[in-house]
Structures are given as structure tokens and as C-alpha cells.
Amino acid sequence: MDLSVVNHEDYFAKIGDDHKFPIKKFGNLAAYLKEKKIVKDFYKPYACSLETLKRAHSETYINHIKNKTLDENGVKKIGFPLVDSVVQRSLVATGGTVLASKLAIKNRIACNTAGGSHHANFNEGAGYCVFNDVAVAAQYLLERNYAGKILIVDLDVHQGNGNSDIFKNNKNVFTFSMHSKSNYPAKKSKSDLDVELEDNMEDVQYLQILKDNLNQFNKEKFDFVFYIAGVDIHFNDRLGRLKISDEGIRKRDEIVTENFFTKGIPLCGVLGGGYNKDLNKLVELHSFLHQSCAKLI
């Protein structure tokens, strides 16, 4: 069996060539996964429906995005221009994570080539996140009774404050964020478990902290895992403050995916952040998620 991976050409949006968000990484990653024979064919998602989005976002906010009527401050907080391709990208990428989560239920493990928009909360977007795809997909699984107890493992360098906000009163979703203490957002939310890391942390200490926390989770009875595999922990990332090597990121992804796969717990992997100064390196780093999952099939 081949790894189930979701991708769509609309993950690219027209935000301007000079924008600091590396929007080209999504198309380049898809091409890389095909070229390296990590993926044979992609599953293609539909744009996420209003009904599904409403599980994690207010209808007022959703309509402001769809109709491009969000106020100037709201648009500025997101960081993307509110143009048609950004709206379409946000809907399709969210649909992509919902589809990947269903494929993970079926096949034990699956990935999206986008997703991890963890700064968006119920009423607004922020930090290059319009809709919180993982939150939407988690609510979808719970309401369809596809899962009963969900763990979100967020290893982006930035705290997953949107997830912690959305699920703060939901005992069926456990939010775990292991992130840079001094990085964005300036005002952190409260996850079920936050692990704050000091600047310039390197591989050995980082991986040991991760293993210690995974050992704690293994004592709980989770029946689904979302893994936000941000690579902005890399030493050469423009928005990160950690010093994790290429090999450190590869080992991290292997540790997380193998930990849950060997226990028979379905896992949906999504990209998370990555702002490496070298686009080709960024694509390679993001591919480690898919490579680690493919090795388990």
C-alpha cells in the first residue's frame, strides 16, 4: 500500500513575488514528492463546505472571508491580501486536511501537503492562517464519531494558540504545543500542555524533551492524532529561534510518526510553518514528514 497524500494546485495563491511567506513551497513540494517517488498519485480535495467550517469558526467570520469583506485590521492580522486565490487556497487547504484525516482513519496514516494553520481561532485569522484546518478536521471527526479522543501534537516553532483557544473547553481534544518561548505570538494562549523552549536549543536536548512527552501521551487512550510538523525549528529558518539540524528534523518526524503508528493510532500529518532562506532546502525539510510516514506503510 502507498502512503495517502492530499494535494491541490490551488494551495498556491497570488500574494505577490516579494511576500515573505514562501507560497511556492506547496507546488514545489508536490513536484519533489513525485520526483523522489515518495508519492505516486495525490488525493485531490474539495473546498471545505460552510457546514464543516462552522464546526470551528463563526459563520460571520467565514462569510467575511468568502465575500472579502473582512476589515483592514483583520486582513493585516492574517498577513495575506484578501484576494480570490487566497480565499480559494484557504478553503481547499482546509478541505485537504479533512480529507487527509478521513484517509488516516481508513489507512492508519495520511498526510496533507499543506495545513497546520494553527493561529486562526473561532472569530479571526492571524499569522498567515485564515482557517484552522486541524481544528475543523478534529471537530469533523468528533461529530461524525470517527474519533472520540484526539491529540494534537504541534511541533511548529510558534505556539498553536488557535487550537488551544478553540479547544479550551473541549475534553475530547488534548492540545500539546512544543514551541519557542520567545517567539510569536507575543501573548500565548494556554494549551492542555505547553512546553516552552529556550532560544538556540539544539538536536539532543530537543529530541529528548519530545521523547519524554510522547512517553506521557502513551499512557493516555487517544484514538486519533494530528501532527503539525512545522520545520521552522531549523537553524536556518527566518522566523525560528531554535538550532535544529536537517537530521534533527528528520529524526523528530520519524519519532512522532513511528510512535503512534506502531500503537495502531491513526495519524494525520500536516505541514505547519517553514520559512527557510533556501526554498529548495525548505521543500526537502517539509518532505521529511511524508518520507517518515511512507517508510511505515
Q: Is the dihedral of CA 77, 83, 85, 87 positive or negative?
A: positive
Q: Determine how β-strand 150-154 pairs with β-strand 109-112.
A: unpaired
Q: How much is the pLDDT for 110? A: 98
Here the CATH number for the domain that contains residue 147 is 3.40.800.20
Q: Could you give the number of structural domains in the chain? A: 1
Selection from 126, 243, 239, 127 nearest residue 183 by Cα: 239
The confidence score (pLDDT) of residue 108 equals 97
Q: Which whole number is the average pLDDT over 154-170?
A: 97
CA angle centred on 149, ends 105 and 143, rounded to 5°: 70
Where does residue 93 rank: exposed (0-12), middle (13-18), buried (19+ CB within 10 A)?
buried
Task: State the Cα–Cα distance between residues 118 and 125, nearest whole angstrom.
Answer: 9
Q: Which pLDDT does position 61 carry in this prediction?
A: 98
Between 110 and 187, the more confident residue is: 110
**What's the predicted TM-score (pTM) here?**
0.97
Tell me: pLDDT of 17 over 90: no
Q: In the structure, what pLDDT confidence band is assigned to residue 18 with cuts at 50, 70 and 90?
A: confident
Range 101-139 burial, b when 16+ CB lie within 10 A, else e: bbbbbeebbbbbbbbbbbbbbeebbbbbbbbbbbbbbbb
pLDDT of residue 185: 86
In order of 25, 218, 226, 278, 288, the CA distances from 256 in angstroms are: 23, 11, 11, 25, 12
Q: State the pLDDT at residue 76.
A: 97
Three cell numbers, residue 132: 484552522
Per-chain mean pLDDT for the chain: 96
Instruction: State the pLDDT at residue 119.
Output: 98
Give the Cα separation of 58 and 48 in Å (integer).
14
> What is the per-residue pLDDT across 194-249, written as a single tens digit (0 to 9) for each?
999 999 999 999 999 999 999 988 888 899 999 999 999 999 999 999 999 999 99
Q: What is the pLDDT of residue 277?
A: 86
Structural domain of residue 58, as residue ranges?
4-294
Q: Can you give the pLDDT at residue 184?
A: 86
In whole angstroms, give the CA distance from residue 95 to residue 52.
Answer: 9
Residue 36 reports pLDDT greater than 90: yes
Q: Over the stretch 62-101, which tens digit does the pLDDT of each residue have?
A: 999 999 999 999 999 999 999 999 999 999 999 999 999 9
pLDDT band at 103 (very low <50, low <70, confident <90, very high): very high
Total residue length of the chain? 297
111 and 45 Cβ atoms separated by less than 8 Å: no
